[in-house]
Amino acid sequence: MPPETRPAVAVDQARLWERHLEMAKIGGTLRGGVNRQALTPEDAQARALLARWGAALGLDAGLDPIGNLFLRRPGQDASAPPVLTGSHLDTQPSGGRFDGTYGVLAGLEAIEAIGRVGIETRRPLELVVWTNEEGCRFAPGCMGSRAFAEPGLLDRLLAARDLDGIRVAEALHEVRTALPSTVAPCGLGGPVAAYVEAHIEQGPELEAAGRVIGLVTGIQGRRRILIEVHGEDGHAGTLPRRRRKDALSAAVAMIQALEVLMHDPEDTVRFTVGRVVVSPNAPSVVPGHVLFTIDLRHPEGGTLMRLGDAVETVCRRHVGPCTVSVTDVSLTMPIRFEGLVPDTVRTVSESLGLPSMPIASGAGHDAENLHRVCPTGMLFVPCERGISHNEAESAKPEDLAAGAQVLARVLVELAGPAGGRRG
């Protein structure tokens, strides 16, 4: 039937909010945040809770070899590739209650709301919890969606170890045993009709603009560079400046020059020196070795490459009597979400009186990997003061509900009306 004649799907704001609070108890921290790192007992417990909620709605549950959890609402055409929505339940060590979790619970709420008004879709709807998006316990991050998009990586990813030497494969075993027995093993990857992921913005732009729905235009590119400055340890009291090879002094000059290089009047360039390791790091010893990281992001691949490539030249110019090595650690080129999914998000938002605001994602998401295998898009809702990856992370119940409402209608549109032709 045409959209205007379908029954109105209505998400339940209170239920959605309550589920966030309930979920936040698992790994909840004293300061109101969440520590629920990938494949820990807490992560397993969170997935088990979700599986129970799904079972109560009659959804079929499956777990693939990398631990991605799927809750499936059948469509009329069992052979049609499903429409996927979801996100992740793992957090950073001092993470918040909404990052990742919102995309999962908004998906559950959308599917429940669709069910309550009895809408049948042609394609199945699947809610997915991707394994290890955060990448803080096991590297790389977005492990589950990465394996989904490229199953050939599975063995390498299963062999990754945390700091205690525990392999992903071992940690997964614990998760499997924690899940209800109704969760059946399923295969890795497979055809998907479309993927849509809801997420809190993790930035301040929606809040600043007073808008509720962010239409994600793409995910900016990221480049990680490691700088190592080699000097010579020296005695702080005896070594005159002209004889010093002070690695910290050189590093400081490099960082200041890089800040000038990266200066951007439009404030689009994201340049961060987040980690600095000084050695021997004793108050009375001239530091002989300094390591620092550069996290550089930009929505345009050309700019990302140009700025990143200039880092080495700037560092060499400020090396003084030391030496420097510049190593590219990783590079993820920017992607753009276009076509089916963002178009649907835009149209649905408009029709619900919540006109969307185009917004680029500063953070990486599982949607990046899905973008390689199916039409993909994301929608953002505001988060308080743009604070994320932080125990203080928060969001408004009404914004979360508005996003879930848009998501529900988008899923219905993407899954197509029952009774249509196969495809």
List of residues contacting its own copies (CB under 8 A) = 92-94, 136, 201-204, 220, 222, 224, 233-243, 246, 248-249, 252-253, 255-256, 259, 264, 267-278, 280-287, 293, 295, 297, 361-364, 386-390
State in angstroms the smallest separation of the CB of 287 from its own copies: 6
Which residue, 103 or 287, is less far from its own copies as judged by CB? 287
State in angstroms the smallest separation of the CB of 90 from its own copies: 15
Distances (CA, A) of 204 to 186, 233, 380, 393: 39, 43, 11, 12
Which residue, 79 or 284, is less far from its own copies as judged by CB? 284
State in angstroms the smallest separation of the CB of 318 from its own copies: 11
Q: Kindly give the interhelix angle for 13-24 and 101-116, rounded to the nearest 10 degrees.
A: 140
Strands 83-87 and 357-361: unpaired
Contact in structure between 382 and 201 (CB atoms under 8 Å): yes
Strands 194-200 and 376-381: parallel
Which residue, 287 or 375, is less far from its own copies as judged by CB? 287
DSSP class of residue 234 equals E
Contact in structure between 6 and 412 (CB atoms under 8 Å): yes
CA nearest to 210, candidates 402, 388, 14? 402
Which residue, 122 or 222, is less far from its own copies as judged by CB? 222
Q: What is the separation, in whole angstroms, between the first and last Cα of the chain?
A: 17
State in angstroms the smallest separation of the CB of 238 from its own copies: 3
Contact in structure between 76 and 66 (CB atoms under 8 Å): no
Which residue, 278 or 354, is less far from its own copies as judged by CB? 278
State in angstroms the smallest separation of the CB of 294 from its own copies: 8
CA distance 34 to 394: 12
Which residue, 186 or 387, is less far from its own copies as judged by CB? 387
State in angstroms the smallest separation of the CB of 24 from its own copies: 19
